[in-house]
Structure 1
Amino acid sequence: MRPRRSVLYLPGANERALQKASTLAADALVLDLEDSVAPDAKESARRRVCETVAAAPYGRREVAIRVNGLDTPWHDADVRAAAEAGPDAVVVPKVGSASDVHAVEATLADAGAPEHTTIWAMIETPAAVLRAEEIATASDALTVLVLGTNDLVKELHAETVRGRAPLLASLSWCLLAARAAGKPVLDGVYNDVRDTEGFEAECVQGRQLGFDGKTLIHPSQLEPCNRVFSPSEAETDHARRVVAAFEEAMAEGRAVATVDGRMVENLHVEQARRILALAEAAQAH
């Protein structure tokens, strides 16, 4: 299991940020060629990002390149350059349908991308939310869904508020699609880097909803994000006791067990084993 608790966007035009990232406690890094890069810096940022990825300075961290959207003049060159650099993934903004996924997949194949380079699709529009299952199941090459909540708020004519009530239907719909497809799904960013309390509350909400992790815009958000999306010691201890009790029950010919006065069935054991796998993956990272 590969942890994706914290997925940090890095501006592709900022060489210092790209260098510093090798010291950060992020599970994954997204080297950005889209929103953080001005039009006149697109080509130089592309070269810098691809050279950085090819040099592989980030150790165990998962590394992705966010390309410009399919409807932009930079998209094709971005994808082809990324294919040559060979990141773990190419993050594609504003994916709207299965055909968009197929188009990126075809370009990667034509450009000779290695097998380990997969596609992460960003869900950022109402149309994409409504087609989330279609997108999630479009290809085995698509391995992760990423919520683009800023764009979604804009497209919905909604407001950015604590608790994200205007987005809950969309978040839940995308989670359903991801889980039905067996794909990980990442929560969107939190814009106010000074609001640590609000950020942590949104991390807690994201984990409670079922997200695998959260996309981030600043290194200061890494510690609380990793902490919230990691199983606590109490959760890990309880999970171990659930597995042990159930295995003991099975050895004695019983189909259920009891832990802390609560009945334990196979579904609880599956949840417990997932928690233990997450804890092990997080500790190894």
Structure 2
Amino acid sequence: SSSSSSSPTHPRPPSTTELSVRINAVSSGLALEDLTTILPATHLDAIVVPKVNKASDLHFVTDIIRHTLPERRHNPLKILALIESAEAITNLNEICRASPFLSGLIFAAEDFALDLSLTRTPSLTEFLYARSAIATSARAHGLPSTIDLVCTSFRGEEGQRVLREECLQGKGLGFNGKQCIHPSQVEIAQRTFAPGEKEVEWAVRVVAGDEKADIKGRGAWTLDGKMIDVPVVGKAKATVERARLCGMDIDAIREKWKDQEPE
């Protein structure tokens, strides 16, 4: 069972900000046992469901969560769906609408290649359609997470170069994260997918300025001559949160601009 290492009594590791468990596929017949074992864990944030080929795979998991955790409405459990087949790609719209708990899609390139008898190449062009479809569908349905394929290179400078290129390519296709198979990959992936320093500084200024504008009862205001309204503030807050999760020092930027007043 995929859940054998995640007993409900195991505490969350102190260095872990979000804890997810990968269960067996619904089609394996083992998912019910996995879910029954792991769902009592109060420190569990997300369930990764492999081989999601159609909406009914997520309906199954969702129904079990609802029956097992009816009281967990204040902190709903998230579902991350692994997209691994041609069937899944053709059913993306239905999959994205299948569960209110669905938080993101993960592209499993190796299994997808096996399903289509493809050979992975350094350019990754053989995955272009599938990756674009996943990122676009997730965005269309408002899913916050789109996690790109694994980079199999991680050793030495060449491995880091390949990883960086793959991250930039994935970001360019609309993904906002990447699967990592080695600790050495994490920093590069986070740095590449994190918002840029200038973008973060602007966002912090917007959020801080809006807090002051709100106290003064002002709905819209300007910053550096640009109109700041609700949608701009919403995007800025999301950028700041992403930057914080990527380890950027938001408090230091806030301190730098503490005397800024909304215009």
Superposition TM-score, scaled by structure 1 size: 0.70
Aligned pairs (5 A) from 1:182-221: 182-183=142-143, 184-194=145-155, 195-221=159-185
Specify the code of the residue in structure 1 equivalent to 2:147: L
Question: Which residue, out of 169, 191, 195, partners 1:227?
Answer: 191
Which residue of structure 1 lines up, in the alignment, with residue 58 of structure 2?
Answer: 101
The answer to whether 1:88 aligns with 2:52 is no
Relative to structure 1, the CA distance from residue 276 to residue 117 in structure 2 (aligned partners, 3 Å threshold; closer, same or farther) is closer
Specify the code of the residue in structure 1 equivalent to 2:35: V
Cα distance, 1:48 vs structure 2? 2.6
Counterpart Cα distance in 2 of 1:251 and 1:226: 33
Cα distance, 1:202 vs structure 2? 0.5
Question: Which residue, out of 117, 123, 126, partners 2:83?
Answer: 123
Aligned pairs (5 A) from 1:25-36: none
Specify the code of the residue in structure 1 equivalent to 2:195: P
Relative to structure 1, the CA distance from residue 243 to residue 137 in structure 2 (aligned partners, 3 Å threshold; closer, same or farther) is same
Specify the code of the residue in structure 1 equivalent to 2:184: S
Counterpart Cα distance in 2 of 1:284 and 1:182: 25
Specify the code of the residue in structure 1 equivalent to 2:171: R
- Show structure 1 runs of 5+ residues with no match: 1-41
Relative to structure 1, the CA distance from residue 88 to residue 242 in structure 2 (aligned partners, 3 Å threshold; closer, same or farther) is closer
Specify the code of the residue in structure 2 equivalent to 1:138: A
Cα distance, 1:95 vs structure 2? 0.5
Question: Which residue, out of 14, 19, 22, partners 1:63?
Answer: 19
Greater strand fraction, Structure 1 or Structure 2: 1
Specify the code of the residue in structure 2 equivalent to 1:75: A
> Could you say what secondary structure the match of 2:19 adopts?
strand
The answer to whether 1:46 aligns with 2:3 is yes
Which residue of structure 2 lines up, in the alignment, with residue 3 of structure 1?
Answer: none
Counterpart Cα distance in 2 of 1:46 and 1:281: 26
- Show CA shifts across 1:26-55 (max 9, x none): xxxxxxxxxxxxxxxx3xx63332257x42
Cα distance, 1:232 vs structure 2? 2.5
The answer to whether 1:236 aligns with 2:200 is yes
Aligned residue pairs, count: 234
Which residue of structure 2 lines up, in the alignment, with residue 78 of structure 1?
Answer: 34
Relative to structure 1, the CA distance from residue 90 to residue 230 in structure 2 (aligned partners, 3 Å threshold; closer, same or farther) is same
What percentage of residue pairs aligned between the two structures are identical? 30
Counterpart Cα distance in 2 of 1:113 and 1:82: 15
Cα distance, 1:283 vs structure 2? 3.4
Counterpart Cα distance in 1 of 2:8 and 2:241: 34
- Show structure 2 runs of 5+ residues with no match: 214-219, 250-263
- Show CA shifts across 1:107-151 (max 9, x none): 233344763322111111111111112111112111121111111
Is 1:83–1:114's contact at 8 Å kept on the other side of the alignment? no
